[in-house]
Amino acid sequence: MSMQNRPVIVAVGRTKFGEHYGKEPEKLIEEAWLAASNECNLERKNLETCYISDYFLPITNKLGLEEGFLSELTELHVPMEVTRSFSAALKTACHAIQAGVYSTALVGGIEKMTDRWDKIRDDLMLLDDPWSYYAGGTTEANHELMLRAYIKKHGINGENLEKLYTALAQVAIKNHANGAKNSYAQYQRKISLETVLNSRKTVNKALGLFDYAPVTDGATAVILTSEEAAKKMDITPVYIYEYNSATDYLDYSAREALSHFVATQIAMKKVLKTSKLDVWDINLWQVNDQSTMMELVSLEDLGYCEPGTAWRSISESCPNDKGCYVINGKELYVNMNGGLKADGNPLGAAGGAQIHELFRQLTGKAEQRQVSIDGATPKYGGALEFEGFGTKAYVNILGRE
């Protein structure tokens, strides 16, 4: 990334994730904004633009023109735009700051998914893959299909197949253990291997209840400035070091690869090329674990494991006291806030929770979850966010310098 007008995160804020039936969307985003504002003493009048993300507010809460309700909330008339994912909003804000159009921006994400339990599953199915929806598929169908494709492609059977299933369960166990240390998480309790395996037996499927992220409400906020503006504040800045994205077919069954996400691989290769970083320069990640299968595949798509081997690395390194994966003797920390699995998955705000955790880790303020790389605070952290079932992949790299 060009050194000129580098985007800098100066503050982050969020709500607790979970069921917030009694709170209006505007109350949630206000809570997240105020938390971020208090960190850097920025007032509303200092904001030059706002970008907000949500998928379903017009459906779940009958909120059209979300920019209008945000204008009411902030009592501002600055430019405002709405995207689906938090990463899309962040990317747009970064472009604006790099172009020198603005020096201070609010990026917010919000979702109120539990307000319409009867409707949300239909919406999620159409978001993931409308062709599967019309064929009678559920939101979980593609995850199971990917698992089957992975097993077939890599010839996993017998004892190794059992190890693969156990490795997937260990992903859920790790993320719940991390979520237990996160006061914002929807689920702050540990789970056992027996719990995960029994949930699969109950539905007679390879993946069960504890292999999937929940339906969630919540909001997140990030205050982004130019490097020059950040220098005037008494804060510890975190730079948007590099970012990129890629897109794949909406129809999962029509893609060239069924056992991994091509969009992730493309976005990651672009990020490494432009940043001139090695993959192992980034030991800390927040990945999209809508299912345990997606976290496993992400380890391969991001370049940490060879195709068809991530389950071995998970099996050999979990459980351990550090809560990290050990791959070729190197430690890789993934989803330290509990990931979507335990922290929660309010779609429009989920990417903001990833950035929130990376910011806390890189500034040494992650409390019980704090990661240490060779005795020091991590230098870089990465976030992988999806729109749909790997249809769009966003890779964001944050750095302390």
The DSSP code for 253 is: G
Q: Is residue 392 in some structural domain?
A: no
- Is 54 among the domain residues? yes
- Nearest-5° Cα angle at 222, 61 to 378: 130
Which residue, among 82, 72, 70, 77, has the nearest Cα to 32 in the 3D structure?
A: 70
Q: What percent of the chain lies above the pLDDT cut of 70?
A: 98
Report yes or no: 91 and 394 within 8 Å, Cβ to Cβ: yes
- SS3 state of residue 221: strand
CB atoms within 10 A of CB 101: 13
Looking at residue 128, what is its pLDDT? 80
Look up residue 18 and give its DSSP letter: B
Half-sphere exposure of 316 (CA within 13 A, CB side): 12
Is 193 a member of any domain?
Answer: no
Which residue range is the domain that position 220 belongs to? 7-117+215-231
Confidence class for position 136, pLDDT limits 50, 70, 90: confident
How far apart CA 42 and CA 44 sit, in angstroms, is 7
Instruction: Note the pLDDT tens digit of each residue in 16-62.
Output: 999 998 898 989 999 999 999 999 888 888 999 999 999 998 888 88
Q: What is the pLDDT of residue 61?
A: 82
In a domain, 166, yes or no: no
Asked if the structure places residue 85 within a domain, the reply is yes
Residue found under tokens 């598929």: 137
Whether 226 contacts 8, CB under 8 Å: yes
Domain count across the chain: 1
Average pLDDT value for residue range 359-368: 96
Query: Can you state the angle between helices 310-317 and 158-179, rounded to 10 degrees?
Result: 60
Instruction: Quote the longest CA-to-CA distance of the chain.
Output: 63
**pLDDT of 2 higher than 60:** no
Is 52 among the domain residues?
Answer: yes
Average of per-residue pLDDT values in the chain: 93
In a domain? residue 223: yes
For the stretch 315-326, pLDDT in tens is: 998 766 667 999
Closest CA to 49 of 225, 193, 213: 225
Domain assignment present for 342 = no
Q: What is the CATH number of the domain that holds 112?
A: 3.40.47.10
